[in-house]
Amino acid sequence: MQHYFIDKDHNESDFFEFNDEVLGLNLCFRSCDSIFSKNQIDDGTRALLNAISKNMTLNGHGLDLGCGLGVIAIALIKRFGVTFDMVDINATAVKLSKENLIKNNVQHSAKAYFSDGFENVTDNFDFIATNPPIKTGKKLLFSLMEGAFNHLKENGTLTLVIRKDHGMESLKKHLISIFGNCEIITRDKGYYILNSIKN
């Protein structure tokens, strides 16, 4: 089975654009068939952004882990004036994220680059926000959580979205084992927003 995160060759005709709104922002995305949530902002991503916007104040430099089209970083840069690193294992996602930063006039606030998990990530961050790759399996998911802990500064936050029926309870337990804490910030139509603080 070919997962959405496996990259493939594209023709120019495979690419298209869509507009969508989140946090009261009108955003424009260049997209293509092989990318996660290719036609609209994903409901889970939307729930994550709404929860962060309502419940947190972000400052400093963050990481959008598994950035896809760049929705999370772009929306949070516009909402909080923060800066971002954005990484994805899919080279097309990285290319589109770079283009989408320009399309939404925030290219000076973020850099997007290829990385399998944290392998090319050298910075430590004030916050990490992610709609993580659940379909890759628990082993990778859990290792990404450990990577997140190791790449957060003191008092840095990891905030993520997961559906209850996609293993929310076991991920929450795993986060508590790494961070010593994990709070459910909101529940939104089956999507749970989890937040852990490195302290």
Binding site for ligand SAM (CB under 6 A): 5, 36-37, 42, 45, 66-69, 71-72, 87-90, 93, 115-117, 131, 133, 136, 140
What's the token pair of residue 101? 């930063």
For the CB of residue 199, give the shortest distance to ligand SAM in the complex, in Å: 26
CB nearer to ligand SAM: give 115 or 196.
115
Which of 135, 155 has the CB closer to ligand SAM?
Answer: 135
Instruction: Please say which residue, 135 or 173, places its beta carbon nearer to ligand SAM.
Output: 135
Would you say 115 or 157 has its CB closer to ligand SAM? Answer: 115
Length of the chain in terms of residues written: 199
Q: Which of 176, 91, 107 is nearest to 142 (CA)?
A: 176
Kindly state the smallest distance separating residue 185's Cβ from ligand SAM, in Å.
Answer: 17
Whole-angstrom distance, CA of residue 106 vs CA of residue 47? 22
| CB 153 to ligand SAM: min, Å | 21
Sheet holding 191-197, edge to edge: 110-114, 83-88, 61-65, 125-130, 152-163, 191-197, 183-188
Question: Toward ligand SAM, which CB reaches closer, 51 or 67?
Answer: 67
Contacts of 82 (CB under 8 A, 6+ apart): 58, 59, 60, 61, 62, 76, 109, 126, 127
Residue nearest to ligand SAM (CB): 66
The separation between CA 51 and the C-alpha centre of its own chain, rounded to angstroms, equals: 14
From 69, 70, 75, select the one nearest 22 (Cα to Cα): 75
Alpha carbon distance 49, 52 (integer Å): 5
Minimum distance from CB of 159 to ligand SAM (Å)? Answer: 12
Output the smallest distance, CB 180 to ligand SAM, in A.
25
Q: Smallest distance from the beta carbon of 67 to ligand SAM, in angstroms?
A: 5
- Three-state DSSP class for 110? strand
Closest to ligand SAM by CB, 8 or 199: 8
